[in-house]
A and B are shown apart, each in its own frame.
Chain A
């Protein structure tokens, strides 16, 4: 601020030419020294320069501090707002009528709008400067008197235009980054939305609620001059895909058909979105996510195992075939690329190939392979389900062929077994694995619609099913090398004696109805027979055969228990009879009382089968 001092008129008059340039302090100093010669002026100049440097430095620091505060606060505020707008509804388990993309777009708008406005202002400024330049240029053409002056002004204006343009372009670039980030975030939001739309079908155990929050923390809010989006979006996409893969597995385990279908839909939609945005996760990444790949080729289902030796059944019903084909098509690249690395059991592959060639129409008849092998690489188990309407002669042929193949494997030193149970063929390439196969894993990896076809020890009145058993029962000509312990047929007289609740031991009488404890050697099992259920002698035989086959494998003598539990599925559960094993995994017996012909028997026990897996046997009678 320029200061004029008139208190001392003489000095003011004396220094009239100087004072307009001096501030008060300088002027006082001038009065004090009574002289403002060249040296004094130089000293003041130096002081001014020093002060200016100091102030510039201070502003620089203040700028840094303010920027830091601004960025921190805006980020925190943005997060809080987003949290309330988007995350909280998820945590409450409802979205209302507003989808996540809408939420994100709303939030995005609030972020984008100021940026967009600034961009507009800058553009306007640039256009104004350009207009001014044009105007001056026009003047230079019309006014030739002061061309020099106009030329200088024009040059100056051009520089100004360039500056404005550079600023506008710079901001535009930033804006583009921000928009890109927002679009990508919106895409992820769409995927999340899809993901959440599955929420109705999936148990909350899958951690639905946690996931978006966890992921959302990874999304950087739009920051200028940086490229925040791609890497993070890709990362999130990968995470989402992993989650989806785990849901697919989960839906298998839970036999949740609806959820499974939705998961597959989700995966495909997700895949499409990513592909459209060229954000497709590379096939090998997908491959690494899905450790276990299943390809549907030539009407047979092939199962690949990865190098980690982990296996997962990916078995899909016919309804999924197209979807899975689409998905696997996307993975083909990966398969082809890593073909050499994928350790495919060639012998099994050959076996399945031969099988497919010989019976090309097998898949049309609904014949399905289920891979149930787990654990070590050397153990492979396959289950082949014979559909109801499958031609019996074809079944015979299949059985014989498979038997021949199994023998062939045996001759090559591979432990192989072929077991026929009910309408299901079980092929075990490792004897040890046989038990595991009949355990929980078999159950959990079979989709719901196939549950009715699970292995069993009984039969229905269906002639086709009876055929299997009758074949087995013909000891003289067994079609397969079935383990005697499982397929042994014993007579009625051998088996059934039971202890009634009052302690008396009775022999089996199929005409009576029982609520009893069955004694099998040292072991006793509570048995509830539904009042309207009359088991046929054959059913009793099979029942007892099963019991006998698995009794005495480390299971301690069971104490009779009077209590009978009927669960919400209508199963009668008699458990666990005081087995000394792990109480969390009781031994038991289930009878299904809904249908006279249906009996579901479940053995659950750590020791029952001599291994730690939870064993579950279903008897469909």
Chain B
């Protein structure tokens, strides 16, 4: 049977691991936010070109509405 000291050591290790996991979750959330931003950009892109099918000559023209806003 493990002693109380062993348990406490295990607790400490688990605590450390939990802290790492929490940090990883935070990273994932940041990443998710970045992807969501990209998604929004893409959505804007698609909307822009569906409304302006003739403006294919300017690849980044879809950013203009945002820039002006």
Contacts and interface: CB of A to CB of B under 8 A. Distances in A.
Contact of B39 (A56, A59, A69): A69
A339 interface: no
Interface in B23-69: 24-25, 28-29, 31-32, 35-36, 38-39, 42, 45, 56, 59
A493 interface: no
A406 B10 CA distance: 103
Contact of B15 (A2, A38, A59): A2
Contacts of A31: none
What secondary structure prevails in chain B residues at the interface with A?
helix
Contact of B18 (A45, A48, A73, A92): A48
Contacts of B35: 66, 69-70, 73
What secondary structure prevails in chain A residues at the interface with B?
helix
Q: Could you say which interface size class chain B belongs to?
A: 20 to 34
A62 B25 CA distance: 8
B42 A41 contact: no
A84 interface: yes
A66 B31 contact: yes
A350 interface: no
Nearest to B58: A84
A65 B32 contact: yes
A83 to B, nearest CB: 9
A49 interface: yes
Interface in A1-18: 1-2, 18
A58 interface: yes
Given A22-B11, A45-B10, 18 more contacts: A1-B15, A2-B12, A2-B15, A21-B11, A21-B12, A41-B8, A44-B11, A45-B7, A45-B11, A52-B14, A52-B18, A52-B21, A59-B24, A59-B25, A62-B25, A66-B32, A73-B38, A92-B56
14 contacts: A2-B12, A18-B8, A21-B8, A21-B15, A23-B15, A38-B7, A44-B11, A45-B14, A52-B18, A55-B18, A63-B28, A69-B39, A73-B39, A88-B56
Interface of A: 1-2, 18, 20-23, 26, 37-38, 41-42, 44-45, 48-49, 51-52, 55-56, 58-59, 62-63, 65-66, 69-70, 72-73, 76-77, 80, 84, 88, 91-92
Interface of B: 4, 7-12, 14-15, 17-19, 21-22, 24-25, 28-29, 31-32, 35-36, 38-39, 42, 45, 56, 59
